[in-house]
Amino acid sequence: QFRYRVCVQLKLRAETMVTSARMRIPYSRLNHNPNSSPHRVFFIPLCTSRRFFLLITAALLISFPYFAWSTEESMGGETRMPTKPRFSLDEMRGFALRKSLSTDYKPSYYTKSATSFDRMLMERSSRFDISATDVLVFVHIQKTAGTSFEKFLVRHLSIDRPCECTKKRKRCVCRRPGGNNNQTWLFSRYSTGWVCGLHADYTELAVSACVDTVLEKKEGAGNRRRYFYTSFLRDPITRYISEYRHVSRGATWMASRHMCNGRPPTPDELPLCFDPRVGWEGVSLEEFLSCPFNLATNRMTRMMADLTLVDCYDTTKMDRRKRDSIMLESAKANLRSLSFYGLKERMDDSQWMFQRLFGLRFTKRLSEWNKSKSNDTVVTPELMKKIREANSLDIELYSYALELFDERMERMKRDGLPVTVPEATLPSASHFIDDSPNEDRSKMILPINEEEEEEDDDRYEDSERYN
């Protein structure tokens, strides 16, 4: 009789725990009255068996911790929402690498000798040394003042051994001062060319290890290089309209490869918005905005993100909201990992930060170098609203970049690097700090006759070999 009563109680409590876990109802709220069980009559013969009594007792003892944990987890989900993704960015990157069978990337390249801003600021051994094995890599995002900055690097940098440039080829030889003539310190369009693809993005340059592969092929694999990735960003709305103007004048960037996980996107993954035999010259802003496959949309986020995390250009395998969220967080993480990034709207501050951080000096002021072309672009309030909505990821990324930029400026002023170039040649930090209230530039109406950055001719350039 005792065994029977205990058996019934154990059985009912087991059923109650299962129900609690499945229905996400606290165990204490469920009624486990033995007289209310519909299985009571059926269960009497089983409970009179000693063997069955021992079996159910053991099963209950083994399963109790699991059901208790499951119920606690289920109830926790009702009262509190997760504040961060379940997996870290590195874990998600690892999942994407393991899943892809066609990839030829090496996981070690994710952090292979990449030097971040924080390391440069905090570790003396991580300072850029142009005479050693350090390489400055520039990620050139279209219409962000990248052309001006790259020309400054090869033409207006005060170093012992300036770059030797050939005008007709738009190519410069940038050898290390006092070192091996076969080694370059700069990886950019004017020094090595578009060897990783026209306007190669972060995925092509860093994730695929194209930079390291190219330099090892050219200079040998014996050097332990350190890479200092840099880039420029711009207000998303003005950048988008600037790219539209550039495309309407004939630019297509058809030579871009968009390599990801060892292959370019298929026509199904990345259709073209125009007939390549005709081009897109003269396109209206409305048509430019209406194409869902226009890579101008959220370009900065896409080019700074690790696209292997979102199945590259295949948008069918992931919910759009999840894809956008992962891309944005990846772009923010990679932005933090850069050695330096500048802002087109704050060229003087960007120049001051670069010179202090890298211990190099420009012979001219970057903010005074912009040649301009006047353009009239009528942007109606309705079109402006659509442009903002289409580029919401870039707007959020740029807002984050502004905050991080200000934080870095303050850190460098407070406890930054010692001055390694003559103080007279360095712009004053206080002179460049903008003390005016922060404005949401994404909501500013684009002025007519906006001054354009120096026009580049990369619409005609193809990927060239580093030689």
Nearest to 232 by CA among 400, 398, 399: 398
Q: Determine the Cα–Cα distance for residues 224 and 113; give it in Å rounded to an integer.
A: 8
Q: Cβ distance 139 to 239 under 8 Å?
A: no
User: Which residue's structure tokens are 């330096």?
Assistant: 340
Phi and psi angles of residue 153, each rounded to the nearest 5 degrees, phi first: -65, -35
Which one of the listed residues 199, 246, 258, 431 is annotated catalytic? 199
User: Which residue's structure tokens are 């940038």?
Assistant: 174
User: Which residue's structure tokens are 């909505």?
Assistant: 389
Helix (H) / strand (E) element for 343: namely strand 340-343
- Amino acid in the structure at residue 107: P
CA distances, 385 to each of 18, 301, 356, 433 (Å): 52, 19, 39, 31
Encode burial over 140-170: b for 16+ CB neighbours within 10 A, e otherwise.
Answer: bbbbbbbbbbbbbbbbebeeebbbebeeeeb
Q: Cβ distance 391 to 240 under 8 Å?
A: yes
Q: Is 140 a catalytic residue?
A: no
Q: Cβ distance 75 to 26 under 8 Å?
A: yes
Q: Determine the Cα–Cα distance for residues 205 and 262; give it in Å rounded to an integer.
A: 12
Helices 381-390 and 236-248 cross at an angle (nearest 10°) of 110
Catalytic residues, by residue number, are 199
